[in-house]
Amino acid sequence: GAILTVVFTAANVYLGLRIGLTFATSIPAAVISMAVLRAFSGTTIQENNIVQTIASSAGTLSAIVFVLPGLVMVGWWADFPYWESVAVIAVGGILGVMYSVPLRRALVTGSDLPYPEGVAAAEVLKVGAGVGGAEENRKGLAAVTAGGLLAALYPLLAKMKLAAEEVGGAFKVGSGGTMLFGGLSLALVGVGHLVGLAVGIAMLIGIVISFGVLLPQLTAGGIPADTELAEYVGTVFRQKIRFIGAGTIGIAAIWTLLRVIGPIVRGVTAAIAANASRKSGGNESLDITERDIPISIVGGTILASMIPIALLLADFAVGGPVANALGLTLLASVVYVLIAGVVIASVCGYMAGLIGASNSPISGVGILAALGISLL
């Protein structure tokens, strides 16, 4: 699990820096785990699940590429200081895990979200472990194998220039312009099948509004001289449409938070009840699916994490414009992190359950978090 995490994190960081996207690692980790552990006798589905769970952290850890490079781009950092970067990633990762513990009850056991990638990983694990009838497992394994081979074959053909990786381009609409691009990926076809028609329609509506309405309006008036249409349209998209999308995500985040407040409260209440039951009857008195990290440890770890976060913020502020009012700024920033962490964890968890972790708009959430702290 640790080895796969290192490999997949490196791959995700590379993809994140190169094309701005990361992929969920649960499914490939599950397949590799089953292939490796099959050589050992007595391998169980729980062991493979542990491996893929460990490796799945690669997708979340690599999301740091959407944040830290900004410090270099604005000139605040000349390079990436190793220990500061490690501290930011470590504390942020621990805080994210702690926030996720009570959210599990709210967003998993107490919701009807499809969790497309989680369901797919579970099916892969069940097929590999032989859960179900022999004929069902044979068909499932054949489907998984065929899908994996096709998903691997198409990128190979694309790299050999025998097939297109994407189709589309920029074109004029009235006095303005727009662009349409589509990636030809079988992985996206699989995700579309898993998320269902309703989510697909929602994404299609967003595409139509962004590229069919807003982009032609914001580029109306003619293309500047000596500027390529594709370059101009792409610049408008990055500088305006993307922030409109971030604002939409912000409103959706608030709405999502309002929707999950009740389940979160019930989840925390259930976690407290489970903690009391654990103290009175021992860990064995709880069902295996109810054995979370004790809520007292979760709360204590979250509060304790505020100390290194405050130290990191103080280190960042040295020599900056807020250094003269450091105490008040630190207090406001720590409170912001404490509250924003709940919002971000809830939204990202909800989106991962709705459309999958690979399609979760983590970069947009990062933009909103940066805008929020900037207002302070």
Structural domain boundaries of the chain?
67-375
Look up residue 182 and give its amino acid: G
pLDDT of residue 133: 46
Higher pLDDT, 44 or 59: 44
Whether the per-residue pLDDT at 79 is higher than 90: the answer is no
pLDDT tens digit sequence for 7-42: 888 877 877 776 666 767 777 788 777 777 777 777
What pLDDT, on the 0 to 100 scale, is given for residue 58?
72
pLDDT in tens, 243-265: 888 778 777 767 766 776 777 77
Average pLDDT for residues 266-288, to the nearest whole number? 70
pLDDT tens track for 308-358: 999 988 888 777 777 777 788 889 889 998 888 887 887 777 777 776 666
The pLDDT of 47-69, averaged and rounded, is 79
- pLDDT of residue 215 exceeding 50, the answer is yes
pLDDT at 195 exceeding the cut of 50: yes
The pLDDT > 90 percentage for the chain reads 3
What angle, rounded to 10 degrees, do the helices at 186-195 and 116-129 form?
A: 100
pLDDT of residue 194: 59
pLDDT of residue 209: 92
Average pLDDT in the chain: 78
pLDDT tens readout for residues 122-181:
877 877 666 554 455 566 567 767 877 887 787 778 777 777 777 778 888 888 888 887
User: What letter does residue 225 receive in the DSSP assignment?
Assistant: T
User: Across residues 113-117, what is the average pLDDT?
Assistant: 75
Which own/partner contact pairs does 124-128 have at CB distance under 8 Å and 24+ positions apart? 124/27, 124/30, 124/31, 124/34, 125/30, 125/34, 125/45, 125/48, 125/49, 125/52, 126/45, 128/30, 128/31, 128/34, 128/38, 128/45, 128/48
Q: pLDDT-based confidence at 303, cuts 50/70/90?
A: very high
Q: What is the pLDDT of residue 140?
A: 59
Asked if 214 contacts 178 with a C-beta cutoff of 8 angstroms, the reply is: no
Amino acid, res. 2 = A
Higher local confidence (pLDDT), 304 or 224: 304
Q: pTM for this structure?
A: 0.66
Distance CA(283)–CA(290), nearest Å, equals 10
pLDDT at position 131: 56
Phi/psi of residue 39, each to 5°?
Answer: -70, -15
- Tell me the sheet residues that pair with 178: 171
Band of residue 361 on the pLDDT scale cut at 50, 70, 90: low
Tokens of 77: 């950092």
* Predicted pLDDT at 286: 66
Sequence-separated (6 or more) residues with CB below 8 Å from residue 251: none
The CA distance from 346 to 352, in Å, is 10
Q: How far is CA 80 from CA 7, 68, 87, in A?
A: 21, 8, 12
CA 340/CA 342 separation, integer angstroms: 5
Q: What is the pLDDT of residue 203?
A: 79
pLDDT score for 301: 92
Average pLDDT over residues 200-208: 84
